[in-house]
Amino acid sequence: MTLRASTGTTATIPPLAPIPEGARPGIGPLSAELLIVCLDPEEAVTTLASFLEANRIVFDTVAGPDNIVGRITTVMQPLSPQPLALPSELEECSAALCRELQSMHGLKLVLTLGISAHIAVLGACGIPLSRLDFRPGEITHLPDGLLLADGCHFPTNSFPADMLAQRRAALSELSPKIRAALRPAA
């Protein structure tokens, strides 16, 4: 049976123990309300700097009321350097991500950067791939109430400047939707 982050139980695997704060590698606290799932967490901080700043996303538990506490997970880091990850690799990432999601009790929204991240999140939540397409620029309400925002991956190696600009623009357009979802009254 597929792991389900929303329920914490499965038919064949007992519920997983919570992960203590600081025990899981990643950037930001497990108490975050926003989780960013991407292939290269360290590069993401640099690549997404303007997005993070514009949305007042911080990776510290000491945040002002308008700030959004975020976390960038490292579960996708061990993937092979292929255009798309192998199914077995994505299953391993999904299992690790499921454990991380279960430990994030304040989580409201997951931002996926790229199709591999999207697939891993669906697997972690027990949602079949056929039920939810990758839709960059859109926010979807998952059955357990978690929000899923899809964005494009920002490759680190040579990439045409116009395509990179398009991806940055798409993320900029997604920005207010994310902020509105996390701060509806603001």
List pLDDT tens digits, range 124-141: 999 998 899 999 999 999
- Domain 27-182 sits in CATH at 3.40.470.10
List pLDDT tens digits, range 42-81: 778 887 888 888 888 898 877 788 899 999 998 887 665 5
Residue 102's identity, in one-letter code, is: Q
Contact 26, 101 (CB under 8 A): no
Could you tell me which residues come within 8 angstroms of residue 170 by beta carbon, excluding any fewer than 6 positions away? 136, 137, 151, 152
> Residue 81 and residue 91: Cα distance in Å, rounded?
16
Q: What is the pTM of this model?
A: 0.81
- List phi, psi (to 5°) of 107: -65, 130
Tell me the three state secondary structure of residue 147.
Answer: strand
The pairing of strands 34-37 and 68-73 is parallel
Residue 3 has pLDDT above 70, yes or no: no
**pLDDT of res. 82:** 63
Q: How many CB atoms lie within 10 A of CB 174?
A: 21
Length of the chain equals 186
> Residue 38 and residue 42: Cα distance in Å, rounded?
10
